[in-house]
Structure 1
Amino acid sequence: MKVFLPRDAAAKALGAEAVAEALAAEAARRGIALDLVRTGTRGMIWLEPLAEVEIDGVRHGIGPMTPADVPALFDDASKHPRALGPVEDLDWMRAQTRLTFARCGVIDPLDLADYAAHGGLAGLRRALEMPPAGIVQEVTESGLRGRGGAGFPTGIKWSTVLKAEAPQKYIVCNADEGDSGTFADRMLMEGDPFTLIEGMAIAGLGVGATMGYVYLRSEYPDAIEVMEAAVRIAREAGLLGESVLGSGRAFDMEIRVGAGAYVCGEETSLLNSLEGKRGIVRAKPPLPAIEGLFGRPTVVNNVISLATVPVILEKGAQYYADFGLGRSKGTIPLQIAGNVARGGLFETAFGMQLGQIVGEIAGGTASGRPVKAVQVGGPLGAYMHPSQFDTPFGYEEFDGAGGLIGHAGLVVFDDSADMLEMARFAMEFCAVESCGKCTPCRIGAVRGVETLDRVRQGDGGAVEVLTDLCETMKDGSLCALGGFTPYPVMSALQHFPEEFGLAREAAE
């Protein structure tokens, strides 16, 4: 009997390990040979722990499982009280365009042969037959943009590093996923680590870098364990080292664990931390592509950006570019969280309207109350009002609506949320997490909290002070932390002026 069960951190938090133990015990009691494959998650977190039983070659889902549900699984899985039918036929799965996450939840994350059997390494093998400039051109033509938040064209960054002359170049993967409501990086590393390794190797071949580092946050112990094991397996199999897949071209990599500073999600703070220095923002220029890690040309990309590269090299730039909207090419892994009926990861082409994501995909609020706002882009993202729910999910489209996509995390709030308190939380978050490098962030955030407290106490004049302060922070901050802090504050003020003690006419 073959059963697939996630070892993903979210599934484990919801009881997957207890279900695994119950499966082993029940199989032993019945004298049945159990082939239990531990996978990543499919992304349907509301159904975790989700067991999948192979019936006539088709994987049928049963979930959410508890140890008490296990015995019935060995009778007739298709008639189990929690049976869902073929997993690939579920609405959540059928509505997706899974490119980056195609293998996540499908394979054993540490089985390199299984990875290759499901299309892995095809992109790397093609890259090994191409000149470096050809690899960079392929990524450029795909339209891939940084999935870590800024949306900067990946090909331009790679091209800059390729053209830079230096005795050593580096690939650095930013896996310091610190935004609330985001978990795509973690899910990918826990569920399909070889695709990240493959993407980093392709990047190294493309720009002439022979060494890479994954900067992974300490709060992700499962991802650290899986990534470290995957790197060892890849090195032993010749995927990493002095001769990648016997090509004679070198690329190796290491996993480095950060100490948990939010600001180290900013690329130059991350580089300082990697070098053993305090994680504070560097002034730019020079850009990391010119003087990055240890002063050498460095590609710094997010996990999802690098993990998407193998798909582009395997299927071609045009295939990837054909998905999406305008300059937002390809797919985006939406991370749906907060007060939602169905939370999880949903990969889709850019262009879906925000209201469709919240209403149809997420199923509205878990509380059953009306949606009041959706914060998109992490704790410093704008609060999108229901009147903006026709906004297509694209970088320029969200920018035009006063928001940002960021790492594509969506946190949903119902009508009981206090938006003044939420705005204060965002400002306080910045005050606590600031590295203190620049004045707008170091001092502005502290003054912002104080000003919001004045607003809470009924000081109407404080709103004008708050508006001026936000403009100063946005225009003067060295990094996104201070620059984006005004987004939640100003969007909350714009859409919910009554909660700030203002008449709507005055706010407008």
Structure 2
Amino acid sequence: MIAIDLPTPDAEPAQVPVLSRYWSDDEPWLLRNYVRRNGYQGLKAALQMPPDEVIELVKASGLRGRGGAGFPVGTKWSFIPQREDHPKPHYLVVNADESEPGTCKDMPLMLATPHTLVEGVIIAAYAIRARHAFIYVRGEVASVIRRLRAAVDEAYEIGLLGTHIFGSGFDLDVVVHAGAGAYICGEETALLDSLEGRRGQPRLRPPFPASEGLYASPTVVNNVESIASVPSILRNGVDWFRSMGTEKSPGFTLYSLSGHVTRPGQYEAPLGVTLRELLDLAGGIRAGHELKFWTPGGSSTPMFTADHLDVPLDYEGVSAAGSMLGTKAVQLFDETTCVVRAVLRWTEFYKHESCGKCTPCREGTYWLVEILQRIEDGTGTEADIELLAETTGNVVGKSFCALGDGAGSPITSSLEYFRDEYLAHVRDGGCPFDPALSTVFPSGGAV
């Protein structure tokens, strides 16, 4: 048994916030404070069940991956070969790279309550029969890496990590790895290559990570928020989790609001909330201005307009409206923002972050920037607008990984909703917007 006594858990209400409930408490990152808030009760419950039952419980909860794709977490775990005599070790890898523009939910979670993630890691590793787990964090966020490593050290000191956890006979070692700081390493197979010490580039699939992932062994790769959501499900049960959200997108999640909003920040809400409701919480668009366009899941998701304020922000609702929920990075832009300039900045980012492995993405993003720059500078023609659409079509669906698709999303959606603005750049010989008025992407600024 571990060297501390866990208190009797308090009943938890089926309401948000869950993940961010204690972020404003005094020193919520310390183990003693996490334990006082029902910490590690989910792990205790999991270790009293066979690993396969833990997987089935997470499947029954309907928890979907919070990293962008929305794939069911329990189903992903079940792809791992479950034979006790499997010749290769199993690995759990947590994707904490978080590099999608506008996304800033995982970093504050790890900074404020790192033990939520550590507990989720132990539960997930137990479920998939892994004895080693890795948390891959962006190398730039030194404060988060220090906080995570301190939490892992605390867990080792009292026997929550290491050997014979909770007297169960289950052993687990966790490594917090500082990543290479590249956008492409958010793609799970590129992350695995980087973790193995190679240049981060996407792998050809199949084989998939579930059969040949880290060190050519069965591997599960999950996002931080996905794993951090698991302990509360084990503590409170499937019905508790499904009482929030929608039928096909149950539970709670973190929405990152940034840009021209009165109070930017992280807003935890049940899946299915609308932007109109989130804006009520965030004080609305900045005073004296109105919403022009926004992204539901970061810059790699097709943009929406003010006409989409009441779209349910769950996986089905956003998809039906023509975009993707993605990482739930809601970037908001008012009428002072030039759509062409914003799309140009995003495309410059994707050009810079292309790993160069495939021709459509490597060459395509270069030419997309060139065409957009001509239109923004006022030296483009109406033929350039058609060329922009054609070149985007040669990238989307043709690149080796989803980076090319992400690069094309803001272009195709902006042409759909704001084609007149592109035409105005061409006909007026330049951008009709005063760069001095834009506070999001000023001239010479960066994404």
TM-score range, shorter chain: 0.7 to 0.9
Distance 1:472 1:321, change over 3 A: farther
Distance in 2 between residues matched to 1:336 and 1:215, nearest whole Å: 24
Match of 1:393 among 313, 316, 319: 313
Please say which of residues 180-189 and 107-116 is displaced more in the overlay: 107-116
Residue by residue over 1:16-63, the C-alpha shift from the partner in whole angstroms, topping out at 9 and shown as x without a partner, is: xxxxxxxxxxxxxxxxxxxxxxxxxxxxxxxxxxxxxxxxxxxxxxxx
Counterparts of 1:397-476 in structure 2, within 5 Å, are 397-456=317-376, 457-476=379-398
Match of 2:113 among 192, 203, 206: 192
Q: How many residues align?
A: 409
Which residue in 2 is equivalent to 1:86?
A: none
Aligned-partner SS, 2:199: coil
CA contact (8 A) 1:292 1:298 kept: yes
The question of 1:482 aligning with 2:404 is answered: yes
Distance in 2 between residues matched to 1:362 and 1:323, nearest whole Å: 21
Please say which of residues 308-317 and 360-369 is displaced more in the overlay: 360-369
- What residue ranges of structure 1 are gaps of 5+ in the alignment? 1-93, 504-508
Distance in 1 between residues matched to 2:108 and 2:332, nearest whole Å: 20
Which letter does structure 1 place at the counterpart of 2:304?
M
Residue by residue over 1:251-307, the C-alpha shift from the partner in whole angstroms, topping out at 9 and shown as x without a partner, is: 110110012111111111110100000011111111111111111111100100000
Match of 1:319 among 237, 240, 253: 240
User: RMSD of the TM alignment (CA)?
Assistant: 1.8
| Alpha-carbon offset, residue 116 of structure 1 | 1.3
Distance in 1 between residues matched to 2:321 and 2:366, nearest whole Å: 27
The question of 1:224 aligning with 2:145 is answered: yes
CA contact (8 A) 2:15 2:244 kept: no
Which residue in 2 is equivalent to 1:30?
A: none
Distance in 2 between residues matched to 1:142 and 1:450, nearest whole Å: 47
CA contact (8 A) 1:373 1:413 kept: yes
Distance in 2 between residues matched to 1:221 and 1:318, nearest whole Å: 38
| Identical counterparts, % of pairs | 40
Please say which of residues 463-472 and 224-233 is displaced more in the overlay: 463-472
| Alpha-carbon offset, residue 166 of structure 1 | 3.9
TM-score, scaled to structure 1: 0.78
Aligned-partner SS, 2:79: helix
Which residue in 1 is equivalent to 2:69?
A: 150
The question of 1:364 aligning with 2:294 is answered: no
Aligned-partner SS, 2:92: strand
Which residue in 2 is equivalent to 1:117?
A: 36
Counterparts of 1:54-65 in structure 2, within 5 Å, are none
Match of 2:57 among 128, 138, 147: 138
Aligned-partner SS, 2:295: strand
Which letter does structure 1 place at the counterpart of 2:58?
V
Counterparts of 1:73-222 in structure 2, within 5 Å, are 97-106=16-25, 108-163=27-82, 165-222=86-143
Residue by residue over 1:152-172, the C-alpha shift from the partner in whole angstroms, topping out at 9 and shown as x without a partner, is: 111111001143734311110
Aligned-partner SS, 2:299: coil
Distance in 1 between residues matched to 2:117 and 2:321, nearest whole Å: 33
Counterparts of 1:201-350 in structure 2, within 5 Å, are 201-350=122-271
Aligned-partner SS, 1:336: strand
| Alpha-carbon offset, residue 96 of structure 1 | 6.9
Which letter does structure 1 place at the counterpart of 2:394?
T
Kindly report structure 1 stretches of 4+ aligned residues shifted beyond 6 Å. none
Distance in 2 between residues matched to 1:355 and 1:310, nearest whole Å: 30
Distance in 2 between residues matched to 1:110 and 1:454, nearest whole Å: 49
CA contact (8 A) 1:269 1:282 kept: yes
Which residue in 2 is equivalent to 1:491?
A: 413
Distance in 2 between residues matched to 1:342 and 1:96, nearest whole Å: 22
| Alpha-carbon offset, residue 501 of structure 1 | 0.2
Distance in 2 between residues matched to 1:100 and 1:478, nearest whole Å: 35
| Alpha-carbon offset, residue 361 of structure 1 | 1.9
TM-score, scaled to structure 2: 0.88
CA contact (8 A) 1:263 1:434 kept: yes
Which letter does structure 2 place at the counterpart of 1:432?
H
Which residue in 2 is equivalent to 1:79?
A: none
Match of 1:383 among 303, 306, 309: 303
Distance in 2 between residues matched to 1:95 and 1:156, nearest whole Å: 24
Distance in 2 between residues matched to 1:427 and 1:307, nearest whole Å: 32
Greater relative CO (CA pairs within 8 A, separation 6+)? 2
**Structure showing the higher strand proportion among its residues:** 1
- What residue ranges of structure 2 are gaps of 5+ in the alignment? 1-12, 426-447
| Alpha-carbon offset, residue 111 of structure 1 | 2.5
Aligned-partner SS, 2:229: helix
Residue by residue over 1:125-175, the C-alpha shift from the partner in whole angstroms, topping out at 9 and shown as x without a partner, is: 000000011000011111111111111111111001143734311110111
CA contact (8 A) 1:107 1:115 kept: no
Aligned-partner SS, 2:154: helix
Distance 1:113 1:316, change over 3 A: same
Distance in 2 between residues matched to 1:429 and 1:110, nearest whole Å: 33
Distance 1:323 1:302, change over 3 A: same
| Alpha-carbon offset, residue 502 of structure 1 | 6.7
